[in-house]
């Protein structure tokens, strides 16, 4: 962690400081992976994620982009599963397996982007509030606490309602409502880092605010941010599904939440068309769970609890 | 029969850390035994082991005879009955050892209700008496721990330890977190209460001077072993084991300004309990180590009247010093099960 | 590296340290006694409510263009009606005046008129509120009790088989979308899958015009599936929060003292460990109420429960802006009020708070 902050003297003729830092970082990554592998749930989550990402990335090859076309749908409306359509068809006669595969792209993409936005805001507020202290920090933390208590998904729903229906809106609505937890964690970590002696030294040597935040605090906060991102992706995917289910998603793309909304509108609940209802929900749950498991494993590696306690 | 007799006690934590490696100790009724050593030498582990309070994974061997009954082979019901009623502990850091959400009076009354089967009113009255005994007004029973000062909390801890009139009191660094004036008060308090009630006291501390002042006998621990024991004053003034000498030299002596200018610290760190050095565990830090110390385990051997030390030099120059002043300790029955070997 | 303690679970699964509002502990040390603590909390609540008012006003000014056009978009509306709506939104006034008018109205309990129902928003809300309180209250009590019970047991035997099973199940249920679980329960238990007949009503709150005890039983019958759904998706959070709070206490010295006193294991847990873990747990249970509100909206939608959540869904699909705005305010205000109420009760849980 302190790879580039403990100023180890460099032997003349040896590797330069950058090479040294790189080597240390590689070593710590290897150590991280070794620790991570010990968490079975985390490994399971990671495997599930790799599988889903592969399915999503190869979707254009396996199912093709015309899978959501209503006009030249291949089957009859609401067919039960068969050899030709393993998961049956929807009310327009579209292949549900294809739609499911295609929908994974939107769910993953929106989840990733929304989480990235959320963590970006959270990290920015957290680091600055931890670094600058004073009234700025007070105000920022008040706002954070307020957001923390707010029903943020309701806020996201309202945002998605008043803005135009698009994926960008969904990303924005989720991103700007889920950052407070990250802000809190990052601020706490920033305070911890800045209380270390080498920050004092960096200040004495004339390091400015930007230098301290970007070169000293940020590298120390990154692992935490990584774990946070993983966990937020999970809730972002759930939030995306919820918005789509409420009819607030982009109507022109297929997503898992949207499929569930279509299923409900097609009356598959009362007619018991399980093949229409069950797979998208499993998709959402498995991906959300996988991200949660990964995030927890990363956190457990970064912050191991003592196995023995009295 | 001794009040407490520890025979060949070993404690190994999960992960292989050998915190206690064959300790033998005795405490007679009315006797005050001091147990000294650096942090990590196993003295707190020993205290917890006495009442089987160690975490589930720890392996404990040997015998702990409390009034002749082995704590280690008792049924759990019997262990719970012995806890606090037979032997109680004054923990270090009373802030954390008291429960922050209960009133101190209730915390003192709790073991009385449990072990004495007293009515709540009786237990409350007794708690008030105990508080007065340790120099606090009985009305403070209604206070929460955070409303008391550090010294007051430690007094509460002592009152609690005496609640069931135990035969043995173990005081684990009872004064560590306190400032010097309060420290002296608390030590006097413990001394007086123990003296009045004829209970045995085992006082654990890193501060040899404090122990020498308070206790009858002293045992010095290093890396999970007792390396030296004897009458308190003698061990303090004239330690036979080089570690005992270093420990008594580490604190400046009152009335001896010279010692302040020549503090004899010890190079190096205490050994990792998971990788105790071979032979005599002290040899890597020992100023007078011989080649043989690295390979041969040094057991406790006689080093004068009522004194023993685990050093290769003992016996060669063991002439036995006359009794130093202030060491009015009673000679206690020796236990021969001490000489255990750890490969 | 030193991460802040207790970050075991993040936003999806909040942990004690990660989300704990520091205000509780901080003001606990400030001194000044309970009255001052209460005054501080109430002042905070007023500021928070005002912030909600501001948010709900400006959110609806984010609408690109004319909100009335946006709301009535694509429908046949007479010019007269458009003018009425414009006047109600106060669109012809400057922004600051719109805002003060809005605040003044809100303070007197006027949240505007529903576009869809042609009735005051406040009336629609008071009509639906008891139904939501019945559903949410029942579910809240059940999921909190279940989560705290299982969380305590998991932490006390952490790492054991029971702990791993309960944590795993909680995480799985936590990752399931509430609306999907609701739909599945309807398919299996209401519509019925072949061998199983439909056991529960598919939705609504009452089936007929029963009176007295029969009515109570009928409502209870309708209540089962929505409550089960809410409890299933929400209890995991309480479980993990309780578990993490209790794990933080596990190594504590006072537990060794309690054990040394000769207390039985379950007494050490009940009398000593749990009361200490209660404050962070309860704090987070209330902080997380916001998530429950979202859950209620979805569950009421799926089960056609005639409450605020169902109303919100109806308002969204139009979109009936005054109703959406009013409901948003009510949801946010309810969460803030509940948290303030909890803040005022904390000194009873922990003597260190509010002194």
> Which token pair is B319?
């002439």
Q: Give the count of alpha carbons within 13 A of A57, CB side only.
A: 6
C62-73 mean pLDDT: 73
B283 located within any domain: yes
Q: Give the count of alpha carbons within 13 A of C332, CB side only.
A: 29
Is C27 a residue whose pLDDT tops 60? Answer: no
B28 located within any domain: no
- What pLDDT does residue C287 have? 86
Is C147 a residue whose pLDDT tops 70? Answer: yes
- What pLDDT does residue A133 have? 80
First to last CA, chain C: 35
B58, closest residue in chain A (CA to CA): A308
Last residue of a domain, one of B158, B177, B193: B158
Q: CB–CB of A308 and B54 under 8 A?
A: no
Residue B170 φ/ψ, nearest 5 degrees: -105, 125
Q: What is the mean pLDDT of chain A?
A: 82
> Of residues A211 and C272, which shows the higher confidence score?
C272
d(CA C277, CA A164): 45
Is C65 a residue whose pLDDT tops 80? Answer: no
> Which token pair is B232?
């308190």
Q: CB–CB of C272 and B82 under 8 A?
A: no
pLDDT band at B320 (very low <50, low <70, confident <90, very high): very low
B208 located within any domain: no
Choose from C156, C249, C257, C346 for mutation: most chain B CBs within 10 A.
C257
Q: CB–CB of B84 and C262 under 8 A?
A: yes
Contacts of A25 (CB under 8 A, 6+ apart): A3
B69 located within any domain: no
Last residue of a domain, one of B116, B131, B158: B158
> Of residues A240 and A15, which shows the higher confidence score?
A240
pLDDT band at B323 (very low <50, low <70, confident <90, very high): very low
- What pLDDT does residue C148 have? 95
The 3-state DSSP class for residue B228 equals strand
Other chains touching B, judged by 3 or more CB pairs under 8 Å:
A, C
pLDDT 10s digits, A176-213: 988 998 999 899 888 888 888 888 888 888 888 888 88
Last residue of a domain, one of B108, B123, B158: B158
Parallel, antiparallel or unpaired: strands B168-172 and B200-205? parallel
B275 located within any domain: yes
Q: Does A3 touch chain C (CB under 8 A)?
A: no
A161-165 mean pLDDT: 84
- What pLDDT does residue C230 have? 95
Contacts of B54 in chain A (CB under 8 A): 310
* A92-96, A200-204, C186-190, C240-244, range with the lowest pLDDT: A92-96
Contacts of C51 in chain A (CB under 8 A): 146
- What pLDDT does residue B283 have? 85
Nearest to A36, CA basis, from A220, A226, A298: A298
- What pLDDT does residue A166 have? 86
* In the block, residue with structure tokens 């002296």: B184
B12 located within any domain: no
Is C164 a residue whose pLDDT tops 80? Answer: yes
d(CA A147, CA A177): 7
Is C293 a residue whose pLDDT tops 60? Answer: yes
Nearest to A177, CA basis, from A199, A200, A158: A158
d(CA B274, CA B12): 9
Domain count, chain B: 2
Is B319 a residue whose pLDDT tops 50? Answer: no
pLDDT band at C29 (very low <50, low <70, confident <90, very high): very low
pLDDT 10s digits, A63-82: 777 777 666 666 676 667 77
pLDDT 10s digits, C87-105: 777 777 777 888 888 888 8
* B24-38, B149-163, C185-199, C266-280, range with the lowest pLDDT: C185-199
pLDDT 10s digits, A231-282: 899 989 999 999 999 988 888 888 899 889 888 888 777 777 778 888 899 9
Question: Same structural domain for residues B337 and B245?
Answer: yes
B58 located within any domain: no
Q: Does A6 touch chain B (CB under 8 A)?
A: no
Nearest to C344, CA basis, from C29, C25, C39, C49: C39
Residue B263's domain comprises: 241-341
> Of residues B340 and B214, which shows the higher confidence score?
B214
B200 located within any domain: no
Contacts of B106 (CB under 8 A, 6+ apart): B127, B141
- What pLDDT does residue B262 have? 52
Other chains touching C, judged by 3 or more CB pairs under 8 Å:
A, B
Contacts of C276 in chain B (CB under 8 A): 99-101
- What pLDDT does residue B260 have? 52
Nearest to C295, CA basis, from C139, C146, C130, C167: C139
pLDDT band at C226 (very low <50, low <70, confident <90, very high): very high
Is C72 a residue whose pLDDT tops 80? Answer: no
Interface of A with C in 208-267 (CB under 8 A): 220, 223-224, 227-228, 230-232, 234-235, 238, 241-242, 245-248, 257, 260, 263-264
* In the block, residue with structure tokens 């209870």: C220
Q: What pTM value is reported for the model?
A: 0.82
Q: CB–CB of B55 and A309 under 8 A?
A: yes
């Amino acid at each position: 962690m302190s790879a580039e902050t403990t100023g180890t003297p460099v032997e003349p003729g040896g590797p330069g400081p950058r090479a040294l830092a790189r080597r240390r970082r590689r070593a710590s990554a290897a150590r991280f992976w070794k620790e991570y592998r010990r968490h079975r749930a985390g490994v399971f989550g990671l495997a599930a994620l790799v599988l889903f990402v592969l399915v999503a990335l190869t979707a254009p090859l396996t199912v093709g982009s015309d899978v959501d076309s209503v006009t030249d749908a291949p089957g009859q409306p609401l067919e039960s599963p068969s050899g030709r359509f393993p998961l049956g068809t929807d009310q327009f006669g579209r292949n549900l397996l294809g739609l499911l595969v295609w929908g994974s792209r939107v769910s993953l993409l929106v989840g990733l982007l929304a989480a990235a936005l959320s963590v970006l805001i959270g990290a920015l507020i957290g680091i600055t509030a931890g670094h600058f202290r004073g009234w700025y920090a007070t105000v920022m933390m008040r706002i954070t606490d307020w957001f923390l208590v707010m029903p943020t998904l309701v806020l996201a729903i309202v945002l998605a309602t008043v803005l135009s229906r698009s994926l960008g809106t969904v990303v924005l609505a989720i991103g700007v409502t889920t950052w407070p937890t990250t802000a809190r964690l990052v601020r706490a970590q920033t305070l911890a880092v800045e209380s270390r002696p080498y920050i004092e030294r960096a200040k004495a040597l004339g390091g400015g605010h930007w230098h301290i935040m970007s070169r000293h605090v940020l590298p120390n906060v990154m692992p935490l941010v990584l774990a946070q991102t993983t966990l937020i992706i999970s809730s972002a995917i759930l939030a995306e599904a919820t918005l789509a289910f409420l009819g607030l998603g982009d109507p022109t793309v297929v997503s898992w939440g949207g499929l569930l909304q279509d299923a409900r509108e097609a009356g598959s609940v009362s007619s018991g068309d399980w093949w229409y209802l069950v797979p998208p929900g499993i998709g959402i749950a498995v991906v959300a769970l996988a991200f949660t498991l990964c995030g927890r494993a990363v956190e457990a590696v970064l912050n191991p609890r003592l196995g023995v306690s009295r | 029969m001794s009040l407490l007799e520890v025979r060949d006690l070993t404690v190994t934590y999960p992960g292989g850390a050998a915190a206690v490696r064959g300790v033998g100790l005795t405490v007679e009724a009315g006797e005050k035994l001091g147990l000294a050593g650096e942090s990590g030498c196993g003295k707190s582990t020993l205290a917890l082991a006495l009442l089987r309070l160690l975490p589930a994974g720890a392996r404990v061997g040997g015998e702990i005879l409390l009034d002749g009954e082995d704590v280690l082979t008792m049924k759990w019901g019997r262990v719970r009955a012995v806890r606090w009623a037979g032997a109680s502990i004054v923990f270090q850091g009373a802030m954390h050892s008291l429960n922050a959400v209960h009133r101190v009076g209730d915390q003192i009354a709790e073991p009385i209700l449990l072990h004495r089967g007293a009515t709540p009113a009786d237990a409350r009255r007794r708690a008030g008496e105990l508080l007065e005994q340790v120099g606090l007004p009985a009305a403070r029973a209604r206070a929460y721990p955070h409303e008391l000062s550090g010294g007051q909390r430690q007094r509460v801890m002592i009152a609690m330890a005496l609640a069931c009139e135990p035969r043995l009191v173990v005081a684990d660094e009872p004064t560590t977190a306190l400032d010097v004036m309060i420290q002296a008060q608390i030590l006097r308090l413990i001394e007086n209460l123990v003296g009045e009630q004829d209970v045995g006291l085992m006082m654990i501390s890193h501060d040899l001077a404090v122990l020498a002042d308070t206790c009858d006998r002293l045992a010095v621990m290093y890396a999970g072993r007792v390396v030296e024991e004897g009458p308190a004053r003698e061990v303090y003034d004239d330690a036979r084991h080089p570690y005992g000498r270093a420990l008594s030299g580490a604190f400046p002596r009152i009335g001896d300004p010279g010692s302040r200018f020549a503090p004899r610290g010890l190079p190096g760190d205490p050994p990792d309990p998971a990788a105790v050095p071979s032979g005599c565990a002290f040899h890597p830090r020992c100023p007078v180590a011989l080649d043989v110390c690295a390979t041969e385990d040094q057991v406790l051997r006689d080093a004068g009247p009522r004194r023993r030390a685990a050093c290769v030099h003992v016996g060669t120059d063991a002439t036995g010093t006359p009794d130093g002043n202030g060491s009015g300790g009673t000679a206690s029955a020796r236990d021969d099960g001490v000489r255990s070997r750890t490969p | 590296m030193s991460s802040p303690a207790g970050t075991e679970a993040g936003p999806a699964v909040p942990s004690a340290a990660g989300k704990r509002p520091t205000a509780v502990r901080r003001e606990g040390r400030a001194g000044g006694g309970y009255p001052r603590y209460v005054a501080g909390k109430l002042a905070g609540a007023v500021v928070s409510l005002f912030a909600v008012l501001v948010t709900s006003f400006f959110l609806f000014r984010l609408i690109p263009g004319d909100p009335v056009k946006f709301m009535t978009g694509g429908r046949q509306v007479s010019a007269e009606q458009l003018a009425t709506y414009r006047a109600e939104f106060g669109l012809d006034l400057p922004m600051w005046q719109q805002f003060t008018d809005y605040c003044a109205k809100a303070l007197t309990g006027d949240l505007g008129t529903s576009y869809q129902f042609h009735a005051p928003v406040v009336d629609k809300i008071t009509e639906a509120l008891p139904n939501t309180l019945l559903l949410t209250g029942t579910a809240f009590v059940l999921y909190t009790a279940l989560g705290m019970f299982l969380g305590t047991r998991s932490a006390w035997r952490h790492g054991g088989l029971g702990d791993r099973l309960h944590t795993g199940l909680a995480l799985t249920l936590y990752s399931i979308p509430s609306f999907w679980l609701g739909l599945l329960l309807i398919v299996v238990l209401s519509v019925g899958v072949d061998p199983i007949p439909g056991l529960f009503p598919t939705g609504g709150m009452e089936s007929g015009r029963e009176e007295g005890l029969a009515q109570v039983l009928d409502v209870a019958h309708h209540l089962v599936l929505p409550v089960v759904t809410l409890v299933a998706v929400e209890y995991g959070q309480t479980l993990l929060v309780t578990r993490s709070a209790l794990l933080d206490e596990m190594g504590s010295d006072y537990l060794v003292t309690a054990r040394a006193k000769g207390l039985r294991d379950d007494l050490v847990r009940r009398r000593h460990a749990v009361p200490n873990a209660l404050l962070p747990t309860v704090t987070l249970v209330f902080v997380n109420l916001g998530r429950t509100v979202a859950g209620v909206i979805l569950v009421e939608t799926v089960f056609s429960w005639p409450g605020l959540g169902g109303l919100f869904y109806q308002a969204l699909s139009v979109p009936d802006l005054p109703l959406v705005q009013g409901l948003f305010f009510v949801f946010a205000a309810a969460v803030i009020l509940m948290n303030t109420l909890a803040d005022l009760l904390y000194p009873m849980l922990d003597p260190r708070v509010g002194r």
